[in-house]
Amino acid sequence: MATPREIHRHMRSVTNIQQITKAMKMVAAARLRRAQEKAAASRPFADKIKDMLLTAVSDKAMLEHLDYSEHPLLAERPVFKVGYIVVSSDKGLAGAYNANVLKHAVVELMDKDNYSLITVGRKAKEFFSRRGFPITESYFGFSDKPSYDDAEAVARAAEKLYTEGKVDEVVLIYTHFKSALSCIPVSERLLPVKPPVAEEAPQKGNSGNTTGAVHTSGSSAEASTDVIFEPEAAETLKYLVPYYARTVTYAALMQSSASELGSRMTAMSSATDNANDLIKNLELSYNKARQAGITREINEIVGGAEALQ
């Protein structure tokens, strides 16, 4: 049985760890709130970009005569090689956040013989490097506080791979944030950009959506024909499509950031509670050890007194 001094030393170390986990929980909670506010603030811009793209491609005659050599991000081709962007965190202590998204990525790569890999976050880079996966580009240092510039750098790398013909499709693998207790790894096609008009409008009563595409109703498509573009829609697409791809990338980074902070807050809350339970058990063991020591000393004194009589 451990001595009271050893148990007391263990109690002090657990208490120190509990203070650290409690502080990390508070920091993650504060950052999570800011990440959610930042994601909400960026949503109007993303919605406007999608609306403008929808309006620009609403003219089917224009799409049929579109020169895809000038709009390479819109050109679809047979898929022989896929580029994957895997978004993880830079740090650990975030529960199962990294394990879930990396497991999802491995499942996606399992049946692929020809692919290119772009990692975002130090954990993804270390995970794939240790297992011998070829990594084309890696970005890290901003997983919990991404900026639009970071998203632009990642999107530019993906666009370069696609326009140079090194990949025929680019897929984003990130974690969709639902709540601090629920984060789901998802895959979303980033390139080629699929114009929203290319999707059939959903029927009444159907609420399904296709990943990477935006649906529209016939009335909004008709209304968009009243818009006059200056320059014309085909020229505007040269700017809209890259903005759309970068906006989708930024949204994925923001979702992953919120997921990471939510998972870390939950994990640190559980660690704090477990440390509290452990301290209570150690206090009980400490009191039992002290009582046993006191009882043993009393027995020794009584035995010595009886021996002297």
pLDDT tens-place string over residues 149-184:
999 999 999 999 998 989 999 999 999 888 878 889
Q: Where are the domains of the chain?
A: 45-263
The pLDDT score that the predictor gives to residue 196 is: 52
The pLDDT score that the predictor gives to residue 195 is: 59
CA-based nearest residue to 250, from 115, 182, 158, 128 = 158
Mention every residue, 6+ apart, whose C-beta is less than 8 A from residue 165. none
Across 100-120, b (16+ Cβ under 10 Å) vs e yields bbbebbeebbeeeeebbbbbb
The pLDDT score that the predictor gives to residue 178 is: 84
The pLDDT score that the predictor gives to residue 216 is: 41
The pLDDT score that the predictor gives to residue 226 is: 61
Mention every residue, 6+ apart, whose C-beta is less than 8 A from residue 92. 98, 123
Side by side, which strands form the sheet with 137-139?
137-139, 115-120, 82-87, 169-179, 182-191
pTM of this structure:
0.78
The pLDDT score that the predictor gives to residue 100 is: 93
Joined together, the tokens standing for residue 96 give: 């199962």
The pLDDT score that the predictor gives to residue 144 is: 84
Which residues of the chain have a pLDDT value below 70? 1, 58-59, 61, 195-229
CATH topology of domain 45-263: Pyruvate Kinase; Chain: A, domain 1 (3.40.1380)
